[in-house]
Structure formats: structure tokens, C-alpha cells
């Protein structure tokens, strides 16, 4: 039994634990996640999404082995124990190629799943829920399940051929799009127990071939819609009453829990309630990079107050200029006049600016910002104005006024909410130990 399986089993036995998944490639976010996992004594599950990392490089330019090596090197450099680290693949299937015919999309998906598993990714989200160009819409559950089972068979063979522990799987047909960003204008429908039962039964049948029965025993979770999501400017918060029947349904199922996608920007109380109600795997992505952006923008404002304009990085302006010059990652998502588009590029909750921090001009501006604030250490009066929680941590002797440390602390504030929801015993100890500053930070 793997560490993830043990944790899920502990949850099913009534222990107040869950698992949070950080879906990100941002270096500062991942370093913050490592700090949080150490502080709250949790596993660290880091997941790459199929459009982020694939056999062709994805939008990060990294293949699965390259992403694995990148994360492992960050962990070693940070002194994070690699045995506490689990890699996962999110939305693995034909997602990136769905605009083409199903035959081509699934051929690419087969190579994708093999590449992820061979690279040591252990938690595999099988997502074949999308219709390809020549598929009916919506795609029938039976087709989704059959394609998922086909990919699971490849995963099983790949792990065995490479001498790796067999993967654990997440299934589901009611899957939010990668990165959230659903429109909330028409409300949000919680998955019904009947729909969940159908999904589970159809997948069980698809995995009934003798060679897939062991894989079925390692299906740890099913993706459903618990009633949480976000769009560019609003959040649909978790309502436990609306999910009561769904929560009761999974209690009657052996072994599995629910995986909740698009939990970004939920309140900490909402995250605790989700885990309590058996949505025990919480996915977070844009909220973490949003916190990174908030920290960078705050540091840019400190820089502007400290230094002559000619010396400043102008990182906010450089980022927006780059997004305007290369609009492919936001243009089909953001709509409005020039003012509205500028506002969304900078502040949208979907945080499509996250695609641009690796652009050379943006990275150079960020490097200048960091160098400037290492030479000119931000004073208390400006930190109090723009990063007040971080200033309190500095006053308590828990943080240095170093720009990257400030950024990581800001991100860790958000990720800490997930860690506390997933390890409530450790969270209570943390409150007792850190009461003077932690309560003020919350």
C-alpha cells in the first residue's frame, strides 16, 4: 500500500486527514509548498497537467521526465525529503488534442500516459471526458470509461516494465476543465448520487477484464462536482447542505473518496468541510500562482516607492506588455473593452498571467525587482502597507525581509489553508505553537 493509499484508508477509517494537490510548475510556489508540507507534516502531492507537461513539452516546455527532474532538484536544493514527495498527472487523456479526430487524440494520449508513468508519476488522473472533433457531445459515459481503461492498461504495463510501484488512479466524468474558469452565471449543479453511481458502475465494468482488476483496486477517488468553482471575478463557495446526499453516497462505497477540482479561493472553513464530507483530495492551482502574483505586485509597489523610476524593474508593465504581444493564452478567455481586458490580465482569478512568468522579458524584470530589493531592503513602513502579514512574521522573527522569502511566505499563507484542512491534528498544534502571529495572519 502506497503512502497515498494509506492516507485515503485513514480518512475512510474516520481520521481527520485528506490530501491536497498543488498543480503548478512555478518555482516559488513549489518551494512554498515544500515549506508548508514540512510545517504541517503532510505528504506533498505535486501534479502536472496534461497541457502543462507532455511528450512534446506542453506550455512549460518540459516533458514528464524533465518535470520530474526539475521538481526533484528543487526538493534536494531546499532540503525537502524526496520520500515525502509524490508526483501526479492531472487530466491525462486526449485533452490537449481534442480539436482533432479521436483516433489521433487517443494515440497521443497513449504516448502521454506511458511517458508520465515511466517517469515515476504515481497518482494518475484518467480524464477522457472530453469529446474530440468526431465524437458526439456530450461523450457517453461508456466511451469515457472504455478510453480510461485503455489508458490504465498502458499505465499498468509501463509501471511493471520499469520496475515502478503500480500507480493509483482517479476516475470521473463530471470533470471541470483544467484550471477552472467555468462561468458561474447560470449557477452550479452538484453531482447527484445517481450520476456518481452510474459513473462508478460503468468504470467498474470497463475495468473488469482480468488484467485490469488489480488496477481497479487502486482507484482511490472519483472526480465529482461538490458545488465549488470560480470564474474570472467570482467564487462559488462550498455549501455542505447541497452536497449532503453526495457525501452520504460515497460513505457506502468501499475504499474511495471524492476528488474536488477547482477548490481555489474557497475559505479555509470550506476546505475543512470538504475534507470532512469525503471530498478528501483537494486540487489547487491558480490560487497559488495568484498569491505569487499578488506578492510580486506588492514588491513592485514597494520598489516604486523606494527607488527612482529609472532604476525600477517595471515588472507589472512588462508583464502586461508581454501578454498583449502574445495573447494566445488569454485572448479567448477574457472579454471586454480595453480597460476591462487590462484589469483581467492583471487581476483575474483564473490568473492567466501564470503562463507568462517564464517569458524572457518578464523573467528579466522579475530578476531586477529581486536584485533591487536585496540591495534596498524594504523598510517596515512599506512592508506594513503592502505585505502586512509578512511584516508581522518578520516582527516575530519567523521571516527575513528578503524578496523571494516574502513571495514564498505569501504563497504559503494560501497553501497553509489546504494543509490545515488535510491534517487537522497538526493544525491544532500549529495554532497552539504559533498563536501570537498565526491568528493575526488568519
- Residue 68's pLDDT is 98
Give the tens place of pLDDT for each residue, 215-255: 999 999 999 999 999 999 999 999 999 999 999 999 999 99
Q: Confidence class of residue 429 from pLDDT cuts 50, 70 and 90?
A: low
With 80 as the cut, is the pLDDT of residue 435 above it? no
Q: Could you identify the residue written with the cell 534596498? A: 376
CA distance 256 to 237: 24
User: Residues 6 or more apart from 173 whose CB is under 8 A from it?
Assistant: 129, 141, 144, 145, 199, 223
Q: Domain 290-436 - what CATH class?
A: mainly alpha
**Three-state secondary structure call for residue 265:** coil
With 80 as the cut, is the pLDDT of residue 34 above it? yes
- Residue 439's pLDDT is 26
CA distance 213 to 436: 52
**Cis peptide, bond prior to residue 138, ω within 30 of zero:** yes
**Three-state secondary structure call for residue 18:** coil
Q: Confidence class of residue 431 from pLDDT cuts 50, 70 and 90?
A: very low
CA distance 221 to 309: 52
Q: Confidence class of residue 14 from pLDDT cuts 50, 70 and 90?
A: very high
The CATH number fitting domain 3-286, selected from 3.40.190.10, 3.20.20.70, 3.90.650.10, 1.20.58.220? 3.20.20.70
CA distance 141 to 196: 11
Q: Confidence class of residue 436 from pLDDT cuts 50, 70 and 90?
A: very low
**Three-state secondary structure call for residue 143:** helix
CA distance 154 to 47: 19
- Residue 176's pLDDT is 60
CA distance 254 to 387: 46
Residue from 291, 199, 312 nearest 250 by CA: 199
Q: Confidence class of residue 172 from pLDDT cuts 50, 70 and 90?
A: confident
- In the chain, the percentage of residues whose pLDDT exceeds 90 is 92
Q: Is the dihedral of CA 309, 315, 320, 325 positive or negative?
A: positive
Give the tens place of pLDDT for each residue, 294-347: 999 999 999 999 999 999 999 999 999 999 999 999 999 999 999 999 999 999
CA distance 339 to 326: 18
- Residue 8's pLDDT is 98
Mean pLDDT of 81-93: 97
Q: Confidence class of residue 434 from pLDDT cuts 50, 70 and 90?
A: very low
- Residue 424's pLDDT is 80
Cell of 422: 488535510
- Residue 428's pLDDT is 57
* Mean pLDDT taken over the chain: 94
- Residue 359's pLDDT is 97
With 90 as the cut, is the pLDDT of residue 164 above it? yes
Q: Confidence class of residue 187 from pLDDT cuts 50, 70 and 90?
A: confident
Q: Could you identify the residue written with the cell 503532510? A: 42
Q: How far is CA 6 from CA 39, 218, 230, 274, 435, in A?
A: 20, 11, 31, 19, 31
CB 243 within 8 A of CB 258: no
CA distance 200 to 219: 10
DSSP at 185: T
With 90 as the cut, is the pLDDT of residue 177 above it? no
Cell of 294: 499578488
- Residue 158's pLDDT is 98
CA distance 370 to 63: 29
Give the tens place of pLDDT for each residue, 256-272: 999 999 999 999 999 99
With 90 as the cut, is the pLDDT of residue 183 above it? no
3-state helix, strand, coil in the chain (%, to 5): 55, 10, 35
Q: Choose between 437 and 344: higher pLDDT.
A: 344
**Least confident segment among 32-36, 202-206, 403-407, 427-431:** 427-431
CB 349 within 8 A of CB 290: yes
- Residue 307's pLDDT is 98
Beta strands in 204-358 (DSSP E): 219-224, 229-230, 235-236, 257-260, 281-284
User: Residues 6 or more apart from 360 whose CB is under 8 A from it?
Assistant: none
Computed over its alpha carbons, how large is the radius of gyration of the chain?
22
Give the tens place of pLDDT for each residue, 321-332: 999 999 999 999
Give the tens place of pLDDT for each residue, 99-113: 999 999 999 999 999
**In the chain, where are the structural domains located?**
3-286, 290-436
- Residue 252's pLDDT is 96
- Count CB atoms within 10 A of the CB of residue 81: 12
**Cis peptide, bond prior to residue 87, ω within 30 of zero:** no
Mean pLDDT of 22-44: 97
- Residue 100's pLDDT is 98
What is the DSSP pairing of strand 85-92 with strand 123-126? parallel
User: Residues 6 or more apart from 382 whose CB is under 8 A from it?
Assistant: 302, 305, 306
Beta-bridge mates of residue 38: none
User: Residues 6 or more apart from 177 whose CB is under 8 A from it?
Assistant: none
- Count CB atoms within 10 A of the CB of residue 90: 27
With 70 as the cut, is the pLDDT of residue 151 above it? yes
With 90 as the cut, is the pLDDT of residue 437 above it? no
What is the DSSP pairing of strand 168-171 with strand 219-224? parallel
CB 37 within 8 A of CB 31: no
- Residue 4's pLDDT is 97
Beta-bridge mates of residue 124: 89, 169
- Residue 440's pLDDT is 28
DSSP string, 164-177: PPPPEEEE-SS-PP
Amino acid at each position: 500500500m502506497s503512502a497515498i493509499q494509506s492516507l485515503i484508508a485513514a480518512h475512510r477509517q474516520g481520521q481527520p486527514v485528506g490530501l491536497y494537490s498543488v498543480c503548478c510548475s512555478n518555482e516559488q510556489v513549489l518551494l512554498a509548498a515544500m515549506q508548508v508540507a514540512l510545517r504541517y507534516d503532510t505528504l506533498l502531492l505535486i501534479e502536472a497537467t496534461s497541457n502543462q507537461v507532455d511528450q512534446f513539452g506542453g506550455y512549460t516546455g518540459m516533458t514528464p521526465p524533465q518535470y520530474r527532474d526539475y521538481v526533484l532538484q528543487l526538493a534536494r536544493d531546499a532540503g525537502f525529503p524526496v520520500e515525502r514527495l509524490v508526483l501526479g498527472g492531472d487530466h491525462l487523456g486526449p485533452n490537449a488534442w481534442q480539436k482533432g479526430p479521436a483516433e489521433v487524440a487517443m494515440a497521443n494520449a497513449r504516448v502521454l500516459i506511458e511517458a508520465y508513468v515511466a517517469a515515476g508519476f504515481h497518482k494518475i488522473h484518467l480524464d477522457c471526458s472530453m469529446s474530440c472533433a468526431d465524437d458526439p457531445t456530450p461523450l457517453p459515459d461508456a466511451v469515457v470509461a472504455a478510453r480510461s481503461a485503455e489508458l490504465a492498461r498502458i499505465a499498468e504495463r509501463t509501471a511493471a516494465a520499469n520496475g515502478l510501484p503500480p500507480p493509483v488512479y482517479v476516475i470521473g466524468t463530471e470533470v471541470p476543465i483544467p484550471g477552472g474558469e467555468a462561468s458561474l452565471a447560470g449557477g452550479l449543479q452538484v453531482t447527484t448520487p445517481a450520476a456518481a453511481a452510474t459513473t462508478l458502475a460503468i468504470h467498474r465494468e470497463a475495468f473488469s477484464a482480468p488484467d485490469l482488476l488489480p488496477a481497479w483496486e487502486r482507484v482511490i477517488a472519483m472526480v465529482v462536482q461538490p458545488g465549488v468553482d470560480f470564474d474570472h471575478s467570482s467564487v462559488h463557495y462550498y455549501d455542505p447542505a447541497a452536497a449532503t446526499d453526495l457525501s452520504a453516497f460515497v460513505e457506502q462505497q468501499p475504499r474511495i473518496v471524492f476528488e474536488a477540482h477547482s477548490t481555489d479561493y474557497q475559505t479555509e472553513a470550506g476546505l475543512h468541510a470538504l475534507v470532512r464530507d469525503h471530498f478528501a483530495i483537494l486540487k489547487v492551482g491558480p490560487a497559488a500562482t495568484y498569491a505569487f502574483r499578488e506578492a510580486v505586485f506588492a514588491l513592485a509597489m514597494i520598489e516604486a516607492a523606494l527607488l527612482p523610476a529609472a532604476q525600477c524593474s517595471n515588472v507589472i508593465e512588462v508583464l502586461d506588455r508581454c501578454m498583449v504581444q502574445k495573447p494566445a493564452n488569454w485572448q479567448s478567455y477574457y472579454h471586454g473593452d480595453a480597460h476591462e481586458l487590462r484589469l483581467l490580465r492583471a487581476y483575474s482569478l483564473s490568473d492567466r498571467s501564470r503562463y507568462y512568468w517564464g517569458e524572457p522579458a518578464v523573467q528579466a524584470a522579475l530578476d531586477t525587482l529581486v536584485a533591487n530589493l536585496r540591495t534596498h531592503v524594504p523598510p517596515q513602513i512599506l512592508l506594513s502597507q503592502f505585505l502586512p502579514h509578512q511584516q508581522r512574521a518578520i516582527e516575530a522573527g519567523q521571516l527575513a525581509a528578503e524578496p523571494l522569502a516574502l513571495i514564498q511566505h505569501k504563497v504559503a499563507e494560501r497553501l497553509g489553508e489546504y494543509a490545515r484542512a488535510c491534517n487537522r491534528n497538526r493544525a491544532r498544534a500549529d495554532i497552539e505553537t504559533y498563536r501570537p502571529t498565526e491568528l493575526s495572519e488568519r
